[in-house]
Every structure is written in C-alpha cells, then in structure tokens.
Amino acid sequence: MKNIKAIIFDAYGTLFDVNSAAEKCKEKIGDKWERFANHWRTTQLEYTWLRSLMKRHKDFWQITEDSLDKSMKLYNIDSLMREELLNLYKNLSPFPEVKETLNKLKEANYKLAILSNGTPGLLNQLVKSNDLENMFDDIFSIEEVGIYKPDSKVYDIPIKKYRVQKNQIFFLSANTWDVSGAGNYGYNSVWVNRNNNIFDILDYKPSRKIKSLDQLLEII
C-alpha cells in the first residue's frame, strides 16, 4: 500500500508470546500452567485500565509484578518461583513467524516501530534478547504520556514523531481492545487473531484480520 508510511506493532501478545514464561515452567507448575498464565495476563491488563481510570499510574513492570503476585496466590504457586517467572517475562519468546516477517518488511523499506504499554527498559531488553534490535526504527512506550492504552494520547505518540496522517499508519495487535483503540483513533488497525477469538463490540471493525503476522505480507 503506497499510502502507508509506517507499520506499528503492539509487543505483548502480538510480537511476543505472553504465555511463554509460564509455559517454560509448566513441569513445575503442572497442568494449571495455562490457566495461571491467562489469569496473570488478564489481571495485568485489568490493572493497567483501572490505574488509568483512577489516575494512579504505576509502570508496566510494577503492574506485571503485582498481577503475578495475585495470580500466584490464587493458583497456589510456590513463592520461590517468583523471580524465575519474572526473569522469563523479561525475555519472552517471539511467535515463530515474527523474525522472518520483520526481515521481509525491512527489506521492503517499511518504517517499523513498536507501540507498547511496556517500559523503555523492558522493551529494549525484550527486543535485544531475541536479536531483533536492528528491525525497528523506533520503540514507543506509553511512559512518554503516563497513561495506558487504549487512551488516545498513546496512539498520538507516533503521529507526533513521524508527522503523518493517522490513516497512513498500519497498526497490528492481537488484543481486540487495542485494535479498537487504535482504529477509533484513526489508524488502519489490523487484528492478529491467532486463536479464532470473537472480536469485542467496541464501535470498530478491524480494517483487516490475519491469523499470523506473515499474512501481513499478503495485504500490504
């Protein structure tokens, strides 16, 4: 698409598998590892939204720790595993198609960026640990504005940097609320629906739906 000036990715759940930390400990956690991982993620997101509404900001790493502590109590996970899980979260695994897809987009001279709830430190470590640091022109964090997605001030960050029109941004996320937030803001918002989920009813329909990031190569 000639009109597209930048392709921007959500990080957690889109580029990187948020369940991979717990999955690497599944022998220690047992059969409940996936339910535990899903609860950790859901609580983490709920805390970002609630803190935004209450105007009681904590950075994403603090929220990740708080949501882990709650989830470990609920699922009776040995407290000695806390540091191991947190260290694994700092180095989440990318989805299998991520690196090749980014390489092909980079070869096609697209401007690539991340726009995430994560702190700059977390995001830089995550990208570096997966040997992706040369793929992105920019890594944008909500810490620039001090409020979490889907607040419109977050989606405004790349617009101010690139000085482009909103519809010149291709934005990809696996999170339906993020797709809706970006789409209602004005981005061309693409839903990465890996698990055949149902899209939330939030006054927006994604401009495209794909099952994995490599399908992006077929529509740009």
Strands in 91-143 per DSSP E: 112-116, 138-141
Q: Is 10 a catalytic residue?
A: yes
Tokens of 16: 């990187």
- 6, 152, 188, 196 from 159: Cα distances, Å: 10, 11, 13, 31
**Given strand 188-192, what is the order of strands in its sheet?**
138-141, 112-116, 6-9, 169-173, 188-192, 208-210
Tokens of 142: 């909500």
**Across-strand partners of 115?**
140
Contact (Cβ atoms closer than 8 angstroms) between residue 95 and residue 132:
no
What φ, ψ does residue 185 adopt, rounded to 5°?
Answer: -70, -30
CA distance 96 to 16: 9
Tracing tokens 């990465």 back to the chain, one arrives at 192
Percentages of the chain per state (helix, strand, coil), in multiples of 5: 50, 15, 35
Cα 80 vs. chain centroid, distance in angstroms? 27
The amino acid occupying position 122 is: L
Residues with a catalytic annotation lie at: 10
